[in-house]
Amino acid sequence: MNEHLARLQNVKSEDFIAIARFLAAMIPSCVMRARLKRRHAFFWLICEEAAEARDNGYVFFEYIKEHHPETEVYYAIKTDSPDYEKLKRYEPYILEAGSVKHWIYYLAADVNISSQKGGKPNAAVCYALEVSGLLKNRRVFLQHGVMLNNAEFLHYRNTKMRLFIAGAAPEYAYIRDTFGYPKGWVRYCGLCRFDRYHGLKADPKKILLMPTWRYWLKLKSRAGDDGGAGPDDAASSEYITAWKSLLRNERLLGYLRETGTVLYFYPHRNAQHYLHLFRAGYPVILCTQEEYDIQALLKECSLMITDYSSVSMDFAYMKKPVIYYQFDEKKYRKYQYGSSYFDYRTCGFGTVAETEEEAVELIVKRIENGFAFDEKAEAAHRAFFKLYDDKNCERVYAAICRMRKPRKR
């Protein structure tokens, strides 16, 4: 309890508005739940990041609307989001994320479903309510991507989530045995968005560069005083400098121009603020979240270059090669995530580069060999993705239905 009270001290000033909305929603939500109970009815609520509809939650929402129209389900999103246009046809089942109505539906929902741990009316307030035990509800975590690291913030003691969906076989075993969830609360169903990764043909003239973020650039306390950069010096950090240098590498740019290949650079959401620093020209395209849909790029591109991002598993699932450019591995392991079940060097899906020269050489070779997914990668794929079909949403839906406790009549 002391740990949870300490976290309450981190509530931001804007979170007080959320607290007021939560209080305003309490009585209406109780009335709604009472009415639902009398009718023996229920509904589900789905959300991702407040301004997004492009991940497992969105795919699952559309699946339910198409295949299980008898299930009443709502989706919460900011109506000024570029993704809102995709959802307008589902009115009135769309809620303004963070609004009082969202709070009412969140408190009254039979099941709350999200691809993000913080996917809810307000992450800080809901965390305090849920993990402290003050608010008891059934929450389903669809995940944002296949878990490659020991993310302690997703351990059961830090989430109290009722159902944790895994996207790969060894990931499932790792989470089940390490994260502390009660027996049967972690299920291997596959990620919902994997349903849309079959029967695709990638463009051999498109490759994707998508690095993940570094926690020590955002939260100085995470890195302490041992050389970690703070929020004000992220722009001059090794992280930004290394990716800028790769995007301006003369050999790489020359080869891309020669082969007519376009490189799409899609930074992590925390790095989007620094996109202007890269100033890259053709054949490099700088991608903003507003203009580019990452799911479309994942499907269209033939090669991914990343560092440690779990989105590389989407590429691996589609049987496309990955290059891991890990120029700061020791620092990443010390300040962000330690080692886990997944080894980038032996998994079979990609090759690790430690220097810029190695990364460029690997990119050139992958393009020259036609982005081949060799026998080693095929064998690794069979072991890693034992569920390889378009039935992931179907399995998730069945798992949620089995999880639900019937309402007392």
| Phi, psi angles (nearest 5°) of residue 113 | -125, 135
DSSP string across 83-127:
GGGGTGGGTTSEEETTSHHHHHHHHH-SEEEESSTT-SS-HHHHH
CA separation for the pair 281, 261 (Å, rounded): 13
pLDDT digits (tens, 9 = 90+) for 43-76: 999 999 999 999 999 999 999 999 999 999 999 9
pLDDT digits (tens, 9 = 90+) for 246-257: 999 999 999 999
Instruction: Kindly report the pTM of this predicted structure.
Output: 0.89
Range list of H helices, 260-338: 294-300, 312-317, 329-335
Map residue 366 onto helix, strand or coil: helix
Weakly modelled stretches of the chain, pLDDT under 70? 1-13, 218-232, 405-409
Range list of H helices, 146-291: 169-178, 215-218, 220-223, 238-247, 250-259
Topology at the third CATH level for domain 203-384: Rossmann fold (3.40.50)
Amino acid 13: pLDDT: 67
Map residue 392 onto helix, strand or coil: helix
Amino acid 228: pLDDT: 46
Map residue 211 onto helix, strand or coil: coil
Amino acid 11: pLDDT: 58
Q: What residue segments make up the domains of the chain, in order of their start?
A: 2-196+390-403, 203-384
Which residues are CB-neighbours of 1 under 8 A, at least 6 positions away?
A: 132
Amino acid 224: pLDDT: 43
Range list of H helices, 132-168: none
Class of domain 2-196+390-403: alpha beta
Tell me if 2-196+390-403 shares its fold with 203-384: yes
